Structure 1
């Protein structure tokens, strides 16, 4: 029986250097100067090493964002809908204000130009973040805090839609105050229950 061919193992050290270089360059210089060549120089690796692991610069940024988001935006233990949503949104605003804003704008812009990347962005980032917020509303239903007739996907769209609009347009800050205002706006939306009479808290 033929042995399975073992591929060349990914160097964890090089991988970390590339992700860190991408994060630093994007934070310091914005997306205009972010190229494979610039990342390779900062990470002290060859371009073939980068291309072996990622097809585009945007895919490197996407992995860097996913890694950082997992660290900075934890799934909060459910308390009440109001408190859990507030914690989640405050963490999100802190991440966006600290490092994530320029990264997310870069990813969204690239997704409009590259259809294949747009699919990866939706699957690997958008869908995962939506699932987290959806689970918060679902727990509220299961705890009897909101009625079961609410369209949870629409609630997720409304909350994230407000966040993306403010991030992309830049007309107002992404801060803790906005997190609290958005929490209260969401709470007002679920005050009336289409089915069931949950005690909204």
Structure 2
């Protein structure tokens, strides 16, 4: 997480992030060091520490800024289509060389709490915020129940993608992603209908 301080030299910061990203893809997280980033970028370690508190922060910042540019948030007017596009973009990214790095970062994070904290801050929270925004738009348009549990819905919709990435190792196809999203949405609708019926029964 970038630290507050004097105004940043944006170009220099972008150079450092670009270098950390390239080193990560070339060598993996464990091989990247602040010393190597500084040497490759032609800056001092003090310059890096002026903006980032540790290696995990600068590497994650570089990686997830690059990742975000490949996963824009859609707004088609349909919550189903928006979630489908968003999830498909995520699946395509996960299948790429860059996306495979997510599995490594999660694995390294099991032994490195600083890295895991940074991963959650730079990747998990922004992606969940995007998904929550899409679902909330659907609620506001009347496509989804106002009683929808947004956080649990995100787990239901996106959890299978991470299961395939980290556990089963199965590849993604657009049809598979669409099938997962359709099943999840049917489950959400059924759950909301059940909650509404239970509330009506309790009100009698």
TM-score of the superposed pair, with normalisation by structure 1: 0.79
Out of 140, 155, 170, the residue aligned to residue 138 of structure 2 is 140
What displacement does 1:88 show? 0.7
Instruction: Return the alpha-carbon distance in structure 1 between the equivalents of residues 135 and 71 of structure 2.
Output: 17
What displacement does 1:174 show? 4.0
Any unmatched runs of 5+ in structure 2?
Answer: 198-204
Structure holding more helix per residue: 2
What displacement does 1:36 show? 1.8
Instruction: Return the alpha-carbon distance in structure 2 between the equivalents of residues 133 and 8 of structure 1.
Output: 34
Q: Which has the higher contact order (CA 8 A, sep 6+)?
A: 1
Output one character per residue of 1:28-55: Cα deviation in whole Å (capped at 9) or x when no partner: 2322322223322332222232222222
Any unmatched runs of 5+ in structure 1?
Answer: 1-6
Out of 123, 126, 133, the residue aligned to residue 125 of structure 1 is 123
Written as runs of structure 1 = structure 2, the 5 A alignment for 1:1-201 is 8-169=6-167, 171-192=169-190, 193-194=192-193
What displacement does 1:16 show? 1.7
TM-score of the superposed pair, with normalisation by structure 2: 0.78
Runs of 4 or more above 4 Å deviation: none
How many matched pairs? 191
What displacement does 1:170 show? 5.6
